[in-house]
Amino acid sequence: MRSFSEYNPIVVTVWFFSVTGIAMFSSYPLLMLISLLGGVLFFTVRNGISHGKEHIFFWVLFLILTLANPLVSHNGKTVLFVMNHNPVTLEATLYGLNSATMIVGVLYWFRSFTQIMTSEKLLYVTGALSPKLSLILSMALRFVPLFSRQSVKINNAQKAMGLYKDDNIIDDIKGKSRVFSILVTWALENGIITADSMEARGFGTHRRTHFCRFRFRGSDIALIVVSIALLVVTAFSVGIGSLDFSFYPSISVKTPGKLGIAGIISYIALIMIPIIIETEVSLRWKYLRSGI
């Protein structure tokens, strides 16, 4: 019994980029709506009703993006009304609504992605693609909190030496500049020390080995095969124009046909995979706890 986050990181990454890739490179409104609803549902299944501030931010952004396009773009034949001598058209309004749906949906997916993909999982995925890229990423992830802690130490030391004693904006700017200069100098010195240490330990002299606790299981292989198959069906239906929708100069909808319907169903199935897995794990866990 494994939740979706416990699957192999490569499988999870392939699935996430399959879902978001279709959403970003297609303009079919129904696919955008499916992506948004799926993103909200998956985020809610994982987090419950918490993270209210994030929901508010996403939906305020949705409203802003929807209203921004018809105010900036005046393309389209159907004029709804005129504002400051600029026409607000139906086509521009619907295009803004569709774009906002796509952007907010993708943001929901990537918010869930950041929750699932820890730094260890990201290093595992990038290590499979490029060991050097994985090394650079691991060093960057290490130095970010290290620099933060060192900045606090330098700032406290400067305060003890009398920095910020004038308590005005000019003094604050000079103090922050001095702290930043010291931090940059320390970072350069630390980088040289790290490089010398890696060279002394033989880095680059022979093939690298690494420890990895992630392994492919039968369920991982099954999930990645199903995900790629559903992705291919949806991408093919989008690529050949079965799911074609035009906003300008006027609304033009093409009948999906059998292949287009197959693409829509495939995308729904692709999105529902982790939701079904998470729901099954949650229900099974509650059932097992009830028997204790």
- As for how many domains the chain has, the answer is 1
pLDDT of res. 204: 66
Q: How far apart are CA 223 and CA 217, in angstroms?
A: 10
Q: How far apart are CA 241 and CA 175, in angstroms?
A: 60
Q: How far apart are CA 178 and CA 173, in angstroms?
A: 9
Residue indicated by tokens 């993909």: 117
Contact assessment for residue 76 and residue 114, using Cβ atoms and an 8 Å cutoff:
no
Give the relative orientation of helices 9-24 and 90-116 as an angle to the nearest 10 degrees. Answer: 170
Chunked mean pLDDT (size 10), the chain, 292 residues: 82 92 88 92 84 86 89 80 79 88 92 85 75 71 79 83 70 80 85 80 68 78 93 90 81 81 92 88 77 70
Beta-ladder partners of 82 = 87
Q: How far apart are CA 200 and CA 194, in angstroms?
A: 10
pLDDT of res. 34: 93
Give the residue ranges of DSSP H helices in the chain.
Answer: 9-24, 29-47, 52-72, 90-116, 119-129, 131-160, 169-200, 218-239, 257-290
Please give the distance of CA 275 from its chain centroid, rounded to a whole number: 17
How many Cβ atoms from other residues are within 10 Å of residue 169's Cβ?
A: 8
Contact assessment for residue 274 and residue 4, using Cβ atoms and an 8 Å cutoff:
yes
Can you read off the two tokens belonging to residue 225? Answer: 């095969």
pLDDT of res. 166: 64
Q: How far apart are CA 72 and CA 65, in angstroms?
A: 11
* Single pTM value for the model: 0.75
Residue 10's contacts (CB-CB under 8 Å, 6 or more residues apart) are: 124, 125, 128, 224
Residue whose C-alpha is closest to residue 263's, from 237, 240, 227, 225: 237
pLDDT of res. 210: 61
pLDDT of res. 175: 78
Coil vs helix vs strand at 80: strand
Please give the distance of CA 100 from its chain centroid, rounded to a whole number: 16
* Domain housing 91: 1-292
pLDDT of res. 194: 78
